[in-house]
Chains A and B, each alone.
Chain A
Amino acid sequence: MRQRLLLFAYIFVLIAIWSVASFAQQYPFVHYTPKDGLVSSRVKKCYQDSKGRMYFLTYGGLSVYDGARFRNYTTQNGLANNVINDILEVGDDSLLIACNASTLIALVKGKLVTVKTKGISAPLINQFYRHDDGSIYLSSDDGLFLLKKDTINALNISRIKEEQSEAPYLGNIAGVGNFLIITTNEMKFNKGIYVYDIKEDRICNALNIEGFLIGKDKKNNIWFSNAEQLFIVDRKALQKGKLLLNDPAEEYRQLKYYSTVNIAFANDVIWVVFRNKDFRNSEIRRIDEKGTIFSMPLPGQATISYLKNIFIDRENTIWLSNDGEGVFKIIHSPLQIFEKLFGSSTESSISNAFYSNGTTWYSTLTNKVLRKSKAGFEEYTINLKTTFFIFHETGNKIFAADGQNIYEGLIQGKKKIIEFQKIISLPSNDFFKKRIVVSRNGEIISCQNKGVNVWLNNKIAYHLPLEKNESAEDLFFDKNGRLWLVKRSNGISIFDLHPENPSQYLQPVFQFGKEQILGSLRSFVVDKRGIIWIGTRDDGIAGYEQQNYQLKRLYHFYSGNGLTDNFVTALACDSSNNVIVGTQTGLDRIVFDSSKSYRVENLSKSSNFFGYINQAWCDAKQAYALTPSGVLLQVSPSIETKRNNTPELLMEEIKVNAQTVSQRIRFSHKENNISFLVAAPSFIDEKQVSYSYLLEGSGNKQWSDTSSANAIINLTNLSAGNYKLNVKAFFPSSTYKPAELSYSFEITPPWRATWWFRTIAGLIFIGLLILGFRFYYKRRLEKQMAALEKQKAIEQERTRIATDMHDDLGAGLSRIKFLSQSILNKKGDDKMIATELGKITSYSDEMSEKMGEIIWALNEKNDTLADLIAYTRSYTMEYLANHNIECEADTPLQLPANFITGEMRRNIFLSVKECLHNIVKHAQASKVFFSVQLNGIMQIIIHDNGKGIDWNNQRAFSNGIDNLNKRMNEINGSVSFSYDQGTRVLLKVPLTL
Chain B
Amino acid sequence: MPIKVSIVEDLTEIRNGLAELVSSDKELLMTGSFGDAESAIEKLPMLQADIVIMDINLPGISGIDCIRLVKEKCPGTQFMMFTVYENDEKVLQALQSGASGYLLKRTEPQRILESIKELNQGGSPMSSNIARKVLNIFLQEKKITKKEILSDRENEVLELLAGGLLYKEIAERLFITHGTVRQHIHNIYEKLHVNNRTEAVNKYFDRK
Contacts and interface: CB of A to CB of B under 8 A. Distances in A.
A and B, one complex?
A: yes
A892 B128 CA distance: 14
A949 interface: no
A462 interface: no
A895 B163 contact: yes
A822 B13 contact: yes
A813 to B, nearest CB: 7
Contacts of B165: 873-874, 877, 889
B109 interface: yes
Which among A810, A818, A819, A870 has the greatest number of chain B C-beta atoms within 10 A? A818
Nearest to A932: B164
Contacts of A811: 11, 14, 57, 84
A815 interface: yes
Interface string B68-110: 0000000000000000111111000000000000000110110
A873 B164 contact: yes
16 contacts: A806-B88, A811-B11, A811-B57, A814-B105, A818-B13, A821-B17, A848-B105, A852-B86, A852-B106, A859-B87, A867-B132, A872-B164, A873-B163, A873-B165, A874-B127, A877-B166
A872 B127 CA distance: 12
A871 interface: yes
B37 interface: no
Contact of A819 (B17, B86, B105, B127): B17
A814 B11 contact: yes
B24 interface: yes
Interface in A853-885: 855-856, 859, 861-862, 866-867, 869-874, 877-878, 881
A856 B159 CA distance: 21
B41 interface: no
B164 A870 contact: yes
B128 A817 contact: no
A814 B16 contact: no
Contacts of A903: none
Given A822-B20, A871-B128, 11 more contacts: A811-B11, A821-B21, A825-B24, A844-B106, A845-B106, A852-B84, A855-B87, A871-B164, A873-B163, A873-B165, A874-B166
A893 interface: yes
Contact of A869 (B17, B89, B164): B164
A861 to B, nearest CB: 6
A893 B13 contact: no
Interface string B158-183: 01101111100100000000000000
Q: Which 6 A-B pairs have the closest CB atoms?
A: A818-B17, A810-B84, A873-B164, A870-B164, A814-B105, A848-B106
A784 B135 CA distance: 33
A821 B160 CA distance: 36
A891 interface: yes
B129 interface: yes
B18 interface: yes
Contact of B129 (A813, A845, A871): A871
A814 B106 contact: yes
Contacts of A895: 162-163
Which among B57, B89, B106, B127 has the greatest number of chain A C-beta atoms within 10 A? B106
B11 A815 contact: yes
Contact of A870 (B57, B89, B162): B162
Given A825-B20, A874-B127, A814 B14 contact: yes
Contacts of A891: 163-164
Contacts of A862: 87, 129
Which among A862, A874, A877, A889 has the greatest number of chain B C-beta atoms within 10 A? A874
Interface of A: 806-807, 810-811, 813-815, 817-819, 821-822, 825, 844-845, 848-849, 851-852, 855-856, 859, 861-862, 866-867, 869-874, 877-878, 881, 889, 891-895
Interface of B: 11, 13-14, 16-18, 20-21, 24, 57, 84-89, 105-106, 108-109, 127-129, 132, 159-160, 162-166, 169
A688 to B, nearest CB: 96
B17 A810 contact: no
A927 B131 CA distance: 27
Given A877-B169, A891-B164, A893-B159, A817 B106 contact: yes
A289 B105 CA distance: 144
Given A874-B127, A891-B164, A893-B163, A810 B85 contact: yes
A821 B20 CA distance: 10
Nearest to A810: B84
A733 B64 CA distance: 117
Contacts of A825: 20, 24
B129 A870 contact: yes
Nearest to A799: B89
Contact of A818 (B18, B129, B169): B18
A891 B164 CA distance: 8
Contacts of B159: 893
B84 A870 contact: no
A654 to B, nearest CB: 78
A845 B108 contact: yes
Given A815-B14, A852-B84, A893 B132 contact: no
Contacts of A849: 106
Which among B88, B108, B127 has the greatest number of chain A C-beta atoms within 10 A? B88
B128 A874 contact: yes
Contacts of A881: 166
Contacts of B14: 811, 814-815, 818
B163 A821 contact: no
A867 B129 CA distance: 6
B34 to A, nearest CB: 16
A302 B19 CA distance: 153
A375 B85 CA distance: 150
A866 B13 contact: no
Nearest to B166: A877
Contacts of B24: 825
Contacts of B88: 806
A274 to B, nearest CB: 119
Nearest to B56: A807
Contacts of B166: 874, 877-878, 881
Contacts of A852: 84-87, 106
Contacts of B128: 870-871, 873-874
Nearest to B57: A807
Contacts of A872: 164
A866 B162 contact: yes
A495 B162 CA distance: 126
Contacts of B109: 821
Contacts of B162: 866, 870, 895
B30 to A, nearest CB: 14
Nearest to A853: B85
B84 A806 contact: yes
A851 B128 CA distance: 18
B50 to A, nearest CB: 22
Which among A815, A856, A870, A878 has the greatest number of chain B C-beta atoms within 10 A? A870
B106 A813 contact: yes
Contacts of B108: 845
A848 B14 CA distance: 15
Contact of B132 (A814, A819, A870): A870
Contacts of A871: 87, 128-129, 164
Contacts of A806: 84-85, 88
B16 A822 contact: yes
Contacts of A859: 87
A849 B104 CA distance: 10
Nearest to B89: A861
A855 B85 contact: yes
A371 to B, nearest CB: 129
Nearest to B107: A845
Contacts of B21: 821
A871 B11 CA distance: 30
Contacts of A867: 129, 132
A501 to B, nearest CB: 131
A640 to B, nearest CB: 97
B162 to A, nearest CB: 6
A893 B20 CA distance: 42
